[in-house]
Amino acid sequence: MEPVTLIVTALAAGASSGVIEGLAGTVKESVNAAFAKLLDLARRRFEGNAGAEVILSEHQNDPAAYEAPLAKKLAAAGAADDAELLAAATALMELLDRSGASSGRYNVKINDSKGVQVGEGNTQHNTF
């Protein structure tokens, strides 16, 4: 999964009260703690950028509507290169989707590439 997509997916999953409310006990506590850490790191990444801070806040209320704007702001802020932010997103997704995590779904490593597309159900047209 592409780094910014991973972060946005994790933020959306953490913001989904239905996902977290369906969990029990220590798993729920772990998910809440992992989401709080991810959200804090994202807020720090946007510190001083009022527009990005608003989009992050609005994303918590309506992840679907703010997915693209949040992804754009994260990319512009260099979130794809923030190892701590990526680790927090991965940790949250590992808690919420153990089968996806164990299959490597949230692993990202791309080096010296052009026209790379990561994800599911994508369409891409390249001209080099």
Residues 74-124: tens digit of each pLDDT: 999 999 999 999 999 999 998 887 655 445 555 555 566 566 555 555 566
Q: Count structural domains, the chain.
A: 1
Residue 102 CA, distance from chain mean position:
17
Q: What's residue 97's pLDDT?
A: 73
For residue 107, is it within any domain?
no
Instruction: Please enumerate in sequence order all residues whose Cβ is within 8 A of that of 111, keeping only pairs 6 or more positions apart, or say none.
Output: none
- Give me the amino acid identity at 46: F
For residue 127, is it within any domain?
no
For residue 93, is it within any domain?
yes
Q: What's residue 1's pLDDT?
A: 78
Q: Cα separation of 54 and 69, whole Å?
A: 11
Range of the domain at 34: 3-102
Q: Are 100 and 106 in contact (CB under 8 A)?
A: yes
